[in-house]
Amino acid sequence: MRPTPIPPQPGQESVWDYPRPAILQDTDKHLKVICNGIVLAETSNGKRVLETSHPPTYYFPPEDVKLEYLTETSRKIPCEWKGICLYSDIKIGDKYIQYGSWRYFQPTPDFVSIQTYYAFIPALMDACYVDDELATPQAGDLYGGWITKDIVGPFKGGPGTWGW
């Protein structure tokens, strides 16, 4: 059953106005990921994926990620809209995060432009920022959405939302 969307206020977007299938957009918002006290990724040349009921997932170009902390794994997961992603583990000092990042190494035609870009699971990071606003991680073990004050839900990911 579809939930009742929260009406967006001026300057806000509703995740219920996002399309299905998902789409990819460029964003010039300043994005930053902090992990174990260091800036792991930072860009103003990111991309975001928008999909009905999900807050945006942000993707970073490889030149704006400290790739020396990422190790690709053999874990691959298909997405019907975006293609096949490959997960990376993150190791910074004594902190180890299994499957903390991913990229679409076999993207579908609409998502080819993020083939080399990396996304991060915000719930596993110290902090993720959009234009200096601390983002709230999307709930659930499978999702990488970033919730900010300009995005309204309700959001898929929490208990009871699997069928949305």
CATH label of the domain that carries residue 72:
2.170.150.40
pLDDT at 78: 95
pLDDT at 162: 82
pLDDT at 17: 97
Query: For residue 87, what are the domain limits?
Result: 15-152
Distance CA 96, CA 65 (A): 17
Number of domains in the chain: 1
Which residues of the chain fall below pLDDT 70?
A: none
Residue 157 domain-assigned? no
Residue 93 domain-assigned? yes
pLDDT at 164: 85
Say which residues have a Cβ less than 8 Å from residue 54's Cβ, sequence separation at least 6.
15, 18, 22, 138, 143, 145, 155, 156, 157
On whether the pTM is more than 0.85, the answer is: yes
pLDDT at 143: 87
